[in-house]
A = this chain, B = another copy of it.
Amino acid sequence: MSKGTLLYAQSGGVTAVINATASAVIETARARKIKVLAAKNGILGALREELIDTSRLSLAQVRALAHTPGGAFGSCRVKLKSLEADGDKYARLLAVFRAHDVRWFLYNGGNDSADTALKLSQLAEASGYPLTCIGVPKTVDNDLVLTDCCPGFGSAAKYTAVSVAEAALDVAAMAETSTKVFVYEVMGRHAGWLAAAAGLAGKNAAQAPHVILFPEVVYDEATFLAKVKATVASVGYCVVVVSEGLKHANGKFVAESEGSVDAFGHSQLGGVGPLIAATVKDKLGLKVHWTVPDYLQRSARHLASKTDLAHALAVGKAGVEFALKGLNGVMPIIVRTAEKPYRWKIRAEPLRNIANAEKKMPAGFIGKDGYSITAACRRYLEPLVRGEAAMPYAADGLPKHALLKHTMIGKRLPPFKG
């Protein structure tokens, strides 16, 4: 019987499978008789001492999290600064941890969260408080370094590839008298992983997507339009996939939406799809349609990848195991051990090697034309979208999501004025 509490928190944009990770964390810790609290709305809940008692959830509820998208305990876009600049917040976190005997902190997020977990682990060590901090990976952007991929990405990738394949059949059927060019906008601020995933839909040059606009490749309108024109001439229609992070030669986003930024300092994007569509319409005079799936692509649990779900569960389980072993300041990462058949394992990687870094697409993953993916890219991506992850539907035809009523732990500290 272990002494101490495990605190789990979700951070940043949620995914179709982040709750699967939560599910694995809770179930693994519960099996080891460890009490699990979950911070409400990520690190904010830890700062405010708003802690959810997961022991009130039945095992069935915990397991149902594995097929529920979104973030069941709430997430947030709040990035802590350096130990110096945000010293009061880090101190408060340690105070809350002490007050609730939190010995293990699992922070489920991307590279910003890995940074926060790392700083907390350093602070705890320096202050002599016995705390083990683990960064648990999650991001549809797939931009964490060292891990082969990020939980959440595979499902968004599958959603993207399947949606492009399906919509392309629609466009193909109607092209003679209706839409000639279809533009599909994908997420991905700085790395074209989801844009690349769309490429899985096409097995040859005639199949959609015919043009992928990567954030890694400077947008050149004339070359792009020529490619679209040639595709319509040869195929009869053209499906364009464009990343929200598409940039001009000067480094500016093509869709710099009013220059606003979020709490992490990222530009708020959106709208490059309609912009590219309008360009095609105006310059080529072709009928266009466009789609911006937005949150649909990262919450489509109904179309999750089986591989991705397995990854999400595995990092949750390993996160708890690493924590209980006292592996402070690490992240369970996914290692690809074999290509054919695809095999993978989890190992611990120090957070200092991961925090704040960003994995771009390798140059060898983008075709020479700048608009396609290479065979190497396909080999990398394909296992990640493989397999379907069944989920239960209710009699009314809608998914059976776990909609939890949270029981909060009583506060033991005065409110934080941060």
Contact = CB atoms under 8 A, between A and B. Distances in A.
Contact of A14 (B170, B263, B307): B170
Contact of A158 (B69, B263, B307, B397): B397
A382 interface: yes
A130 interface: no
A393 B382 CA distance: 13
A396 B200 contact: yes
Given A178-B262, A301-B166, A295 B171 contact: yes
Contacts of A87: none
A13 B300 CA distance: 25
A155 to B, nearest CB: 11
B295 A292 contact: no
A339 B19 CA distance: 37
B291 A294 contact: yes
Contact of A41 (B75, B167, B176): B176
Interface stretch (A90-98, A313-321, A384-392): A384-392
A118 interface: no
Nearest to A268: B287
B401 A176 contact: no
Contact of A177 (B44, B290, B298, B300): B44
Interface residues of A, number: 70
Contacts of A305: 397
A174 interface: yes
A293 B295 contact: no
A70 B176 contact: no
A303 interface: yes
Interface string A248-280: 000000000000001100000011001000000
A34 to B, nearest CB: 24
Interface string A326-358: 000000000000000000000000000000000
Given A166-B302, A200-B398, A398-B385, A10 B295 contact: no
B167 A295 contact: yes
20 contacts: A13-B178, A70-B172, A71-B169, A74-B174, A75-B173, A75-B174, A78-B177, A158-B397, A162-B302, A163-B296, A165-B401, A169-B401, A170-B299, A201-B398, A271-B274, A289-B294, A382-B396, A386-B395, A386-B396, A387-B397
Given A71-B170, A75-B173, A77-B178, 8 more contacts: A70-B168, A70-B173, A75-B174, A76-B174, A166-B299, A167-B296, A289-B294, A385-B398
